[in-house]
Amino acid sequence: MLDQDNTALVQVRDLKMHFPIHSGLLRRRTGAVKAVDGVTFDVMRGETLGLVGESGCGKSTCGRAILRLYDITGGEVTIDGTAIGQMGQGALRPLRPTMQMVFQDPQASLNPRMTVEAIIREPLDEHTRMTGAEKADKVAELMDAVGLNRRFAKRYPHAFSGGQRQRIGIARALALNPKFIVCDEPIAALDVSIQAQVVNLLEDLQEKYGLTYLFISHDLSMVRHIATRIAVMYLGRIVELAPRDALFGDPLHPYTRALLSAVPEPDPTRARARDRIVLQGDVPSPANPPKGCNFCTRCPAVMDVCKQVEPTYQQVQPGRFVACHLYETTGTADPTAGHPPHIS
């Protein structure tokens, strides 16, 4: 793992991404889907920040909003010292080489009518003044870097396996020497036998090129392998952020505890001894989130205040942030509250 420094490459402050709901004959705006609703975190140079949560919690939308693939509703995003949250798309264009993305589905994110060479060369065509020979050399270098045979450069995406297609997407993301890459569930569409290869490749490339990752996934075991710190997201908000070992060893938020209890345990003896937390009910709609804490409708440790007042997202231990009323008494973990009770 690349040694990280203590400076933030990416700063996200109160990021909001609301999608309007229109209804009726005149298509008037009648509400909004609050996909991301006030997210704040930093990504340090050289680190991998894991962003986890169940499907539909807003992880992918958050990643795309950070890269300004959407015009954000509110908040600010600063990348390498430049505030990009309110920039127009035209002004963002010169900054695109700094930030890139690896998409979830390699089948959908690659143009089937373009060869591998053309796909990887496209960013070079758009953002550089390299000669044709220089571009060809760069494409070959990138194919070598991601473990693709350069003799296959003239082939089309359909001729490759899922893992190979994802390598093409990674090579394209690396073409402009970015500093920050959002990896949006890069292994979700791959066979289990291929997932470890792609994750190991990402780690090797991070070491080689000094990359900083936001690694979005719902696979907690893979996030534990690759991430330096982990942010847990629920219904558009960050509920807990902590160093990897601290989060897995002693989760603070009731939702984090439930999420980790669902991770399969390969040792049958330990699996039988472990308490499984089964949450009741369904995830509320992001178009109509509950009053107070978003998790109050399913939380096994819910209190009256949770249903009325939104908890403050605050640091409760060095490097550990949580949004939960159990830890709000003094601004530090409340020793009298203990951990939320387990339910089975």
Token couple for 110 = 């690659």
Helix boundaries (H) for the chain? 59-66, 89-92, 106-109, 116-127, 132-145, 162-174, 192-209, 220-226, 244-249, 254-261, 268-273
Map tokens 């953002």 to a residue. 127
Q: What pLDDT is attached to residue 343?
A: 33
Q: What pLDDT is attached to residue 48?
A: 96
Token couple for 26 = 């005149």
Q: What is the pTM of this model?
A: 0.88
The residue ranges of every structural domain in the chain are 8-22+32-234, 256-344
Q: What pLDDT is attached to residue 98?
A: 94
Q: What pLDDT is attached to residue 115?
A: 96
Query: Structurally, what CATH architecture does the domain formed by 8-22+32-234 represent?
Result: 3-Layer(aba) Sandwich (3.40)
Contacts of 304 (CB under 8 A, 6+ apart): none
Contacts of 167 (CB under 8 A, 6+ apart): 146, 147, 148, 198, 201
Considering just the CA atoms, what is the radius of gyration of the chain in Å?
21
Contacts of 131 (CB under 8 A, 6+ apart): none
Closest by Cα among 36, 9, 47 to 233: 36
15 and 66 Cβ atoms separated by less than 8 Å: yes
Q: 138-185, pLDDT tens digit by residue?
A: 999 999 999 999 999 999 999 999 899 999 999 999 999 999 999 999
CB atoms inside a 10 Å sphere around CB 55 = 9
Contacts of 202 (CB under 8 A, 6+ apart): 170, 183, 186, 213, 215, 226
Residues in the chain predicted with pLDDT less than 50, given as ranges, are 1-2, 330-344
